[in-house]
Amino acid sequence: MKKKVLIFVLVLGVVFAVIAIPIIINELYLINSGYITVWEGADVLAFYGALLGAIGTVVLGLVAWRQNERLLKLEETKYNLEIRPFVILTDWKVSPFDIRDTLERFSNGKIDPCYIDTGDLEHADFQVFLTFTNTTDSFVTAKYYKSEYVKTKEDTGWQPAAIFSLNLKMRMQPNENGEICLLGTRDSLNNAFKAGIIKIYFLMENRLGDKYLEEFHFGGRFLGGKDLLGNELITITANNYKVYPSHEPDLIFVTDEAVKQIEQEECTCTE
């Protein structure tokens, strides 16, 4: 309502300035012997017309400046979104763990996935491969940092692991995939799923070396059956993704206090 009133007043003012004032000036110089000044009515009208033109030019300049400023901000936001690292879980698969398969993969020169020890690695018999996709237009690296249960804030105890080589980071070009393998026993992973939703943190970096933290909620459930290949049927969920800049010079040394501080700043910015 206020906006409509403002527009009406503005239009009324423009009409008055463009039409009414020149008529008033003209009438002042027609009454009796005219409005006595050192200049004539035509001079006043010419001056007033030039003044309106100058005011219009200034207003158009201000409008163009504001529009250009908004365009620059939009372009800056678009650019930041393009280079901000962000990965999303797009697929998963499960299989029994067989060291011979891993050895064959290694001997063929294939890049190992980033292995995460979910518990009792020495007796590992189960693995879940998680496929993450780089959704940005920038090369990114993503490294598993930590994970905790959302409800209790307790650490899951999951740690990076090395089988034949220690591959800590997923390295992905735009729209490429990276892989993380949750490796352990079936019971260890099942117990983790039963304990509740897990918040996973990734340490991210883009092609410019800008550092970020990405977090998301992760969960799963064993369905109690097997597929045609004899693999366990499980369901995986991932949601509540968040990405925010890290203020640490090296993400390897990000502490729990730093993560909490960044989360608080993020909440403050969104309020």
For the entire predicted model, the pTM comes to: 0.63
Instruction: Give the model confidence (pLDDT) of 83-100 as tens digits.
Output: 788 899 999 988 888 776
The answer to whether 182 and 124 are in contact (CB under 8 A) is no
Please count the CA atoms within 13 angstroms of the CA of 167 that sit on its side-chain side.
18
CA dihedral 187, 143, 264, 197 (to 10 degrees): -20
Residue 128 has pLDDT above 70, yes or no: yes
Distance from chain centroid for Cα 45 = 57
E strands, 26-158, in order:
87-96, 114-117, 126-134, 140-149
Residue 252 has pLDDT above 60, yes or no: no
Residue type, 221: R
- Beta strands 211-226 and 198-206: pairing type? antiparallel
Beta bridge partners of 199: 148, 217
More confident residue, 109 or 221: 221
The answer to whether 96 and 46 are in contact (CB under 8 A) is no
More confident residue, 128 or 8: 128
The answer to whether 90 and 133 are in contact (CB under 8 A) is yes
Average pLDDT, the chain: 78
Q: Which of 36-45, 85-94, 175-184, 260-269 has the lowest mean pLDDT?
A: 260-269
Instruction: Give the model confidence (pLDDT) of 164-205 as tens digits.
Output: 666 788 899 998 999 999 988 888 888 999 999 999 999 999
Residue 62 has pLDDT above 60, yes or no: yes
Burial environment of residue 220 by CB neighbours within 10 A (0 to 12, 13 to 18, 19 or more):
buried
